Amino acid sequence: MANHSNPPQENDAAPAQPPGAAVALVTTPPKSKLIRRLWQISLASLALLVVLILLFYAAMHSTRGSQGLVYLAEKVAGGSLQMRGVSGRLADELQADELIYQDATTRVVVSALSLKWRWQSLFDAPLEIEKFSATQVKITSPASATPSSLPQSLQIPLAIKIKQLAVGRLIFTTLGTVSNFGTITAPSADKKITQTEEIDASFTALVGAINIDAKQYLIDAAMQTNWGHIAVKGSMQSHRPFAMQADFRYAGQALSALPTTQLLGTVTGSLGLMQLQAQASADKIVLDVVEAVTPVANKSTTAANKPTTAADTNQKKAGLQGSASAQIAPFAPLVLQNLALDLKQLNLAEFIANAPATTSTAATNEVIS
């Protein structure tokens, strides 16, 4: 009987693959293994973060560690910040022989800095500084041919509160071309270029407190100037038009020919146009020698050559009372816009030598233009 079965065809079916080969291409790790890896990565990251925090905490609470953090901050700042002679701890109290900050428009040099603060307040505004003291703070700006103008804003990126401020001397200077106050070396490759540094204003014995936030400046401070002692307490908005309200007290001798004067007043308005109101008083002690009555024959005891004693001397006060008001525009070509004076019991002879004797009331209201 003939065999009619067909011979096997070569392409009827693909050759079978090994059982494990196809499975190896599609097999994925079990879900539990993936979760385990994620947990390991998370725990490692958390452990690293804890270690960094502990190292940072330890560094802040040691002098050597604080010096290292300051060095790191200087490198991050790219040369705009320098601190020399650092001692103490960043955690609470830090001292530095000198701190220098410089950007494109301003250079600040703080000498003999002492800082007491709460570093935790970096994460809880405002930044609280218990005490900031320095023997000198110098702020230098470059000279400019363009007149100063009212700024757009005086907001700062970080709210700050200084509870106790003490600065021996505060100096504002400008780099110019002509000055009698000395020279400093300007940054240059050849170190031969020099610029003059002119003192614009100088204050001494500055004490007080400052609180600055996103909306306003609060200040309560007292200082000594070349013209006398000034104390100010008030506020100013940090955005235009910079509305302000302050009380001030002045005591001093503005000019050698004038008596010691006291002013109590207020400042209102804005930084662009300030309104000043003040009450003034001036006193000068004048000695009035009472001549003794003596016999004419006894020339040795006449009033001309009789010694003056305390019993022969009376004291009287040359008083001056009055009020003043003014409008001041710090950024205008003419700073003093208006001045009004009302002086009572004015006797120029009691204050100025060789002046005529007067006892009068003087009033003036000048609009300056």
**Among residues 176, 210, 149, which one has the least CA distance to residue 332?**
149
Pairing of strands 136-142, 160-176: parallel
User: What was the pLDDT predicted at 366?
Assistant: 56
Low-confidence ranges of the chain (pLDDT < 50): 1, 10, 21-25, 177-193, 285-317
Give the C-alpha separation, 114 to 130, whole Å: 11
Region of 238 please: left (phi>0), alpha (psi -120 to 50) or beta.
alpha
How, if at all, do strands 228-237 and 183-185 pair?
unpaired
The DSSP bridge pattern shows strands 127-134 and 160-176 to be: parallel
Instruction: Point out which residues pair with 90 in neighbouring strands.
Output: none
- Quote the CA–CA distance of 314 and 296 in Å, as a whole number: 24
Q: What tens digit of pLDDT does each residue of 55-112 get?
A: 887 888 888 988 988 999 899 988 899 999 999 998 889 999 999 999 888 899 999 9
**Residue pointed to by tokens 């307490």:** 233
Handedness of CA 290, 296, 300, 301 (dihedral sign): negative
From CA 167, how far away is CA 137, in angstroms rounded? 7
Find the helix or strand (DSSP H, E) in which 25 lies.
Answer: helix 19-26
Q: How far apart are the C-alpha atoms of 323 and 364, rounded to whole Å? A: 11
> Cβ neighbours of residue 326 under 8 Å, at least 6 residues apart?
275, 276, 336, 337, 338, 339, 340
Phi and psi for 58 in degrees, rounded to 5? -65, -40
- Give the pTM: 0.69
* Cis amide bond preceding 241, omega within 30: yes
Secondary structure (3-state) at 189: coil
pLDDT of residue 274: 96
What is the pLDDT, as a whole number, of residue 234?
97
| pLDDT the model gives residue 356 | 59
pLDDT at 329: 93
Cβ proximity of 117 and 84 under 8 Å: no
DSSP letter string, 316-360: EEEEEEEEEEEEE-TTSSSSEEEEEEEEEEE-GGGTSTTPPP--E
- DSSP string across 90-145: TTSEEEEEEEEEE-SS-EEEEEEEEEEE-GGGGGSSSEEEEEEEESEEEEEEE--S
Q: Taking the CA of residue 253 as centre, how many other CA atoms within 13 Å lie in the half-sphere pointing to its CB?
A: 9
User: What is the structure's pLDDT at 3?
Assistant: 52
**pLDDT value at residue 266:** 97
C-alpha 321/C-alpha 281 separation (Å) is 5
Q: Which two tokens stand for residue 112?
A: 């003999």
The torsion of the CA quartet 152, 156, 157, 159, rounded to 10 degrees, works out to -140
What does the pLDDT read at residue 349?
A: 59
